Amino acid sequence: MSTTAETANSTYLSSFPLGHFGEYGGRFVPEALVAALDELAQMHIQTQADPTFIAELDELHRTYSGRPSIITEAKRFSAYAGGARIILKREDLNHTGSHKINNVLGQALLTKRMGKSRVIAETGAGQHGVATATAAALMGLECVVYMGEEDTKRQALNVARMKLLGAQVVPVTSGSRTLKDAINEAMRDWVTNVADTHYILGTVAGPHPFPTMVRDFHRIIGDEARAQVLELTGKLPDAVLACVGGGSNAIGIFYPFIQDASVRLIGLEAGGDGIETGRHASAISGGRPGVLHGARSYMLQDKNGQTRESHSISAGLDYPGVGPEHSYLHDIGRAEYRPITDKEAMEAFSLLSRTEGIIPAIETAHALAGAMKVGNELGPNSTLLINLSGRGDKDVETAANYFENLKM
């Protein structure tokens, strides 16, 4: 099933130099990192065609993280989405509770291949940090996770999980004290320790090869879901929806559908208090192209090119940039990106919990809120595939506070 998508997709970016998505992507990094990025890019290409590596990763997927993840039809939730047929791709059921493990297991295996003994990671909501700490424990690697001080408070449960897994969690106190600053700090560590350290970047942003490599490790979501939906419904879905912060879960489920022209690809960005308030994290809907964290892409910035702080109730989407492939998909009109406010996301969070018995991550709730809108637009004869990228255990306290405050 993925052969068709693979063949077709190999031409979709082929007119651009490797690591470029139209004018987006590329590599804007200190020279000290270039040798390591070159090694990583080469290792990625090599292992993509290496049966031993593929088998090793496949076994970890099956016997450790629990792939393939199932799909669930959300029949009661459907009533709130214009009666559209709603199919959830259950990445929340993966070991560690989100899609993040797909990428982390791949990069941890690469780390071993490169002979490095230490991994570092940035984390916002803590899901990528937990996944990295997990893989490091499994493979006997030293692990340091950088996390904005603000986020260590919002996501205290995940901090505790990372520590239990043997990782060192470093609260980052510079700048806005969120994900953007955690990435800065991880980059500084990497520049210093690149000889024995691999930086497991958690999203499809950053310098080449990260956007391509992280996408390739997550496309399994879309490859599986495409086959599962075809089997269940006998046809392709009308739209595929996913939340977009950096955009890793979205690109993972979108990618195998890119050549399916009839399938709309819809990314839901964090609209925070609303785009018009300026307090949001919607890089595409409310930003413009620039260079951040090693790549050119849409981003939030002021007239001097200084990165603007993002705002979202969801720590995992609270990032002023977005992966370069999304910027390209937006510009060529293949994917659409819409903002979802905190309020809309929290309504969807509550609804899915009450109608389906599934508490989603607040990040994921943005995709569900998008599904409610798109379902109403497309009507009851439509089928929507939604990437349920993570579970909401980590968000229980944030949600409780949010709904408690509403009552006052």
Partner 1 sequence: MSHLSERLAQLKSENRAAFIAYLPAGFPTVEKSKAAIEVLVKNGVDIVEIGFPYSDPIMDGPIIQEAADIALANGTGASEVLEILGFTTNLKVPAVVMTYWNPIEQYGISKFADAIKSANGSGVITPDLSLEEANPWIRESDRAGINNIFVAAPSSAPERLSQVASACSGFVYAASLMGVTGTRTSVSSSAKDLVSRIRESVQTPVCVGLGVSTPEQAKEVASYADGVIVGSALIRVLLEQPDFETGLKELAVLTKSLAEGIRQAR
Catalytic center residues: 100, 122, 389
- What is the smallest separation between the CB atom of 215 and partner 1, expressed in angstroms? 20
Residue 324 in the binding site for partner 1 (CB under 8 A): no
Q: Provide the sign of the torsion angle of the four alpha carbons 214, 106, 198, 186, taken in this order.
A: positive
- What is the smallest separation between the CB atom of 202 and partner 1, expressed in angstroms? 17
Residue 29 in the binding site for partner 1 (CB under 8 A): yes
Backbone angles phi, psi at 142, to 5 degrees: -70, 140
Q: To 10 degrees, what angle do helices 210-233 and 2-12 make?
A: 140
Residue 36 in the binding site for partner 1 (CB under 8 A): yes
Residue 26 in the binding site for partner 1 (CB under 8 A): yes
CB-nearer residue toward partner 1: 26 or 272: 26
Coil, strand or helix at 109: helix
Footprint of partner 1 on residues 292-311 (CB under 8 A)?
Answer: 292-294, 296, 301, 303-307
Residue 87 in the binding site for partner 1 (CB under 8 A): no
The site map against partner 1 for 156-175 (x = CB under 8 A) is ------------------xx
- What is the smallest separation between the CB atom of 53 and partner 1, expressed in angstroms? 25
3-state secondary structure 229-265: HHHHHCCCCCEEEEEECCCHHHHHHHHHHCCCCCCEE
Nearest to 222 by CA among 9, 46, 18, 63: 9
Q: Give all strands (DSSP E) within 221-354, no chain letters.
A: 239-244, 264-274, 279-281, 288-292, 295-299, 335-341
Q: To 10 degrees, what angle do helices 100-113 and 127-139 make?
A: 40
CB-nearer residue toward partner 1: 293 or 391: 293
In angstroms, the Cα distances linking 366 to 267, 272, 294, 335, 390 are 9, 10, 27, 16, 12
CB-nearer residue toward partner 1: 303 or 407: 303
CB-nearer residue toward partner 1: 34 or 55: 34
Footprint of partner 1 on residues 204-233 (CB under 8 A)?
Answer: 207
Chain positions contacting partner 1, by CB under 8 A: 17, 26-32, 34-36, 174-175, 180, 184, 187-188, 191-195, 207, 290-294, 296, 301, 303-307
